[in-house]
Structure 1
Amino acid sequence: MNKKPRNYDWDGFTINLYLDDEQDWMAHLVELPNVSAHGDTADEALEELYVAWEMVKEDYQEDGEKIPIAPSRKDYSGCFNVRIDKQVHRALAIEAAQAGISLNALVSTKLASK
């Protein structure tokens, strides 16, 4: 179950909140799983998680490091490199040529349809 309380700012990170096997409420930032907490109630686990997240941010600042940015708040260039098998590269290039489109257009279309 994902829950974002109105009074907490998670800086764009996703919260995973669940009841574990010992019936304790567990909460963590999905993108930063080491930032976690637990409690007897869901609200307590979320409150403890918020305290943990604030402490992590303070530690980053004290160490002169940048606070991690949630993927949902990052700016992306739209460009990345992928290493693939030579035969896959060849097959995609042939498919793109047969379709009369660029390799980038073909791969972009295939990725967008997933």
Structure 2
Amino acid sequence: MQTDHYTYRVTWSADDGEYVGLCAEFPSLSWLDESPDAALQGVRRLVSEAVADMEAAGETIPIPLAEKHYSGEFRVRVPPEVHRDLAIQAAEQRVSLNRLVSAKLAARSS
């Protein structure tokens, strides 16, 4: 398993006064360090060790998010009032409800 395919990020932890390295596929693992580069190296090393332990134990290893197939479809349940409000907005903008919600999600994720 190539652990460099996992989704890593480094952010500042105000509580700890250090940078924290994180891996999306292993949310329980993190690494604190004084520099962002060291935090990234630390969490990558920690993930490699965890994967090696999981392999040795015959456990299922998470698939990297970048290697998963995404259909572009998912269902979301919302309260009826929210559904109605979104349907009204879509009708007023003369777009489908799907297009309206997709645009709203895209705007929030960027």
Per the normalisation by structure 1, the TM-score is 0.62
How many Å apart are 1:86 and its aligned residue? 0.8
Residue 29 (1) aligns with residue 22 (2):
yes
Give the helix-richer structure, 1 or 2. 2
How many Å apart are 1:95 and its aligned residue? 2.2
Aligned residues: 103
Partner residue, 1:60:
54
How many Å apart are 1:44 and its aligned residue? 6.0
Structure with max Cα Rg:
1
How many Å apart are 1:64 and its aligned residue? 3.2
Whether the 8 Å CA contact 1:29–1:36 is kept in 2: the answer is yes
Root-mean-square deviation (Å): 3.1
- CA deviation vs aligned residue, 1:58-108 (integer Å, no higher than 9, x gap): 232234333223434432111111121111101111222333322111111
Residue 109 (1) aligns with residue 92 (2):
no
Per the normalisation by structure 2, the TM-score is 0.64
**Structure 2 residue matching 1:10: 3-state secondary structure:** helix
- Mean alpha-carbon deviation: is it higher for 88-97 or for 10-19? 10-19
Q: Identity of paired residues, percent?
A: 36
- Which consecutive residues of structure 2, in runs of 5 or more, have no partner in the other structure? none
